[in-house]
Structures are given as C-alpha cells and as structure tokens.
Amino acid sequence: MTPTSFRHGTPERTAVLLVNLGTPDEPTPAALRRYLAEFLGDPRVVEIPRAAWLPILHGVILRTRPAKSAAKYASIWTPEGSPLAVWTQRQAAGLQQRLGAGVLVRHAMRYGNPAIPQVLDELTAAGATRVLVLPLYPQYAASTTATANDAVGAWLARQRRQPEVRFVNHYPDDAGYIAALAAQVRSHWQQHGRGQKLVMSFHGVPRRTLELGDPYHCECHKTARLLAAQLGLGKDEWVVTFQSRFGKAEWLKPYTEPTLIQLARDGLKRVDVMCPGFPADCLETLEEINMEVRAAFVQAGGREYHYIPCLNDAPVWLDALADLAQRHLQGWPLAETPAAERALQRERALAMGAAA
C-alpha cells in the first residue's frame, strides 16, 4: 500500500487526466524496444495466451522490429519531439485554458512517458481528490480505453487514500466532436479543393474483438455516418476502412491500403483521406497513411492523394473537449472554497437559522 502525500488541511482539488496511447522517448532502436515491450506485452493489446506470445515477442519481434519502427518514427519526428506527444501536450494546455484554474489538467500516456501512475501521483500531491479520466479514444475498444482504465485501477489498488474517479469510456457521437471533424474537412476542402471520395480510416483491431462484444466497429461506423451526414455526402462519396494490421489473424475490414489501391485501379484520380478516430496526428497517420498508403495509391494509378490532418489543437476541437469534460465534471466542485469564505458562509447560515 503506497502512503499518500496528502496533508491534513490541504485544499481539495478536481482534476482532469487526458490519456493517450503513448510514444517512444526518441526514434532509436533502444527506445522502441522499451516502448514495444510495454505496448505489445499488454494482454489487452495482444490477446494470445502468454505462454505462446511472450517467446515470440521477446525472441523474435523485439529483436527485429525496433530498428524498423525507429526508422519510421525518425521520418516524422519533429524538433519538439514525437508528434503525438506534442499534440497531446498542447491539447492538455488548451483544455486547461478553457476549464480555468479551478481544475487541474494533466496528460499521461498508457505506454511510455509521462506514465499514468506518475501523473496521478503528481495530481494527488497537488491536492486532487477528484479525478476525471478522459482517454483520447472517441470509440471504445478493450485494447485502448479498457487498458487505460486498467492502469488507473492498478494505481488505485496501491493507494491508501483513493481519490474519487470517473471514467469517460467513449464519445463516438458527441456533437462537438463530430462538428470539429466536419470543420476540419471543410477547412481542407476550402484550401485544397474536394476529392472524388472521402476515405475515413480508423485504427484496426482483430475481428475477434467484434465477436467478443467490443462496440468499437459499430462506434467507428456511427462516427463516420454522422460525419458524412454533417458534410452532406451521398453514400457513394465516402467509405470506412481500417488500418494498421498486425499478425496473420483477420482484422476488421475493409483494409485501408488495399481499398485505396482498388479505388485507383477503378479509375479514381483524386481521394481525400482522414483518420477520425485519432484526435492527434501520430505514426499511424503521418507515416502509415500519409506516406505508405499515399505511395500505394499513386503507384496503382491514382493522381491526387490528399491527407486531412487530425484535430490536433484546432480551437473547435478543444472547445468540444472542454464541453465534454464539463458535462462529466457535473456535481464536482471545480475549486476549493477558501477556509475564510467557508467560515463566513457558516456564520451567515447560523444567523439565518437564528432569525427564522
């Protein structure tokens, strides 16, 4: 049981913890090895019996994949660091600005740094006794949302004094989120023109997860339908695909790259591609979608491939995120009332009672 840094008399605070997937600390094989060991070692992410999977992970994958992945990360790395880390930090800063000083806002990564336990320790040390956990996963999946919740739960199990905790599990049909996506598409169209078809690529998961009861597949399609409706698209003007396959098992279909190749072969010359399930640009959007899939589309005969960036720190998205947080914070005080003011309120209440 971990002793709490709480001190009696410390003002109680309310906090919001933004959680994203994670990123290596630097684009090197050593950093990727650490990151992938944590990520692919999570039984929520790879649902294969440990006895079968761990020898493959440590004996094969962690010996071969880190160097390849490091090269991919190096191709998108910025002077500020990993794009995912940069955008997530900016989202937290934007949310803090919108919620005001009465709420502590911090961000954490499920894998890598800053780690969830570390940030929760910092929040409780700052007086947080109420924490809203807000994963940056609009669509619920056991391999994303649930594992973030698991990490928070594991931290809670070690605490002597536990804060109140609320979890935002999903928001695939949130009006602000959909409006922010639509604004991002319209802004791109205004600057670059409009393609013949809008491809909405979501992160893939094994098909088995759908059969086991995950709502992820349905929630991706719900987001896509609502976005298409807000953009006024006809049924033949948009398509949903799933990217980032790993291993030999069947994943959710249709797959993104084969779909783009087929569209090019069918004569489609210009396509717009976006990733609605990723609130922040990262390796899977910048390298896989904007580089690898782009090259495949052009090689198959396509001419114009337009990638529409993720929401990142767009003001309309940060406004929607703040609105989402505020709805889930309802009922919690957003700032501790100073002791002197509380005493004055008690005196007034007593005086009113005596007068009555």
**Is position 284 annotated in a ligand binding site?**
yes
Note whether 288 and 257 are within 8 A (CB).
no
H-helix or E-strand spanning residue 167: strand 164-167
Note whether 165 and 237 are within 8 A (CB).
no
Helix ranges restricted to H, 41-174:
50-56, 62-76, 83-99, 116-125, 147-157
Note whether 159 and 116 are within 8 A (CB).
no
User: Cα–Cα distance between 354 and 356 in angstroms, integer?
Assistant: 5
User: Cα–Cα distance between 144 and 21 in angstroms, integer?
Assistant: 7
**Is position 170 annotated in a ligand binding site?**
no
Burial letters 199-220, b for 16+ CB under 10 A, else e: bbbbbbbbeebeeeebbbbebb
Is the four-CA dihedral 150, 154, 157, 161 of positive or negative sign? negative
Note whether 44 and 142 are within 8 A (CB).
yes
List residues forming the annotated binding site. Answer: 203, 284
List residues forming the annotated binding site for Fe(2+). Answer: 203, 284
